[in-house]
């Protein structure tokens, strides 16, 4: 198994650990062909839920950015932990770019602000373990009411 495949497998196992720790010993399987991609209400962004309900609480889901997608600085209310599955994802935090090719891991806690872009010809897909209801919060420009 390649190092990136091991990283993806480990991220998926860690994502299921909280559910298993709380007595939910149910196996969950979602082959890639069975993912139901839904537009997230933002052009170029789709989601595919695999566990939980993104609108109501903790969940695990895939997030897909179209090639060339760019998002301004924003944050998400829940802490979340993610692995890049495909594409060339670039996260910008505190003005510094972090390039995260497939198999890379990242986490945002405490409403960490970040910007994002998907470089190259391939869509960027991430597997997200969100610890609460998913949202996207864009800060108001200074002086806006």
Among 1.25.40.10, 3.30.479.10, 2.40.128.20, 2.60.120.10, name the CATH number for the domain at 3-130. 2.60.120.10
Mean pLDDT of 90-103: 98
The two three-digit tokens of residue 141, written as one number: 């420009």
Of residues 53 and 7, the one with the higher pLDDT is 53
**pLDDT tens digits, 35-77:** 999 999 999 999 999 999 999 999 999 999 999 999 999 999 9
Whole-number Å distance between alpha carbons of 98 and 108: 13
**pLDDT tens digits, 104-117:** 999 999 999 999 99
Mean predicted lDDT score pLDDT of the chain: 88
- Beta pairing class for 88-93 and 59-65: unpaired
The two three-digit tokens of residue 9, written as one number: 């497998």
């Amino acid at each position: 198994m390649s190092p990136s495949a091991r990283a993806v497998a480990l991220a998926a196992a860690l994502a299921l650990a909280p559910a298993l720790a709380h007595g939910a010993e149910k196996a969950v399987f979602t082959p890639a062909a069975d993912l139901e991609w839904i537009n997230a209400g933002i052009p170029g962004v789709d989601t595919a839920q695999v566990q939980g309900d993104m609108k109501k609480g903790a969940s695990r889901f895939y997030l897909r950015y179209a090639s060339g997608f760019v998002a301004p600085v924003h944050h998400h209310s829940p802490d979340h932990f993610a692995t890049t599955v495909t594409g060339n994802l670039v996260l910008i935090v505190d003005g510094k770019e972090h390039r995260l090719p497939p198999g890379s891991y990242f986490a945002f806690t405490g409403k960490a602000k970040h910007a994002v872009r998907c470089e190259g010809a391939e869509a960027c897909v991430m597997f997200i373990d969100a610890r609460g209801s998913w949202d996207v919060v864009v800060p108001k420009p200074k002086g806006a009411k």
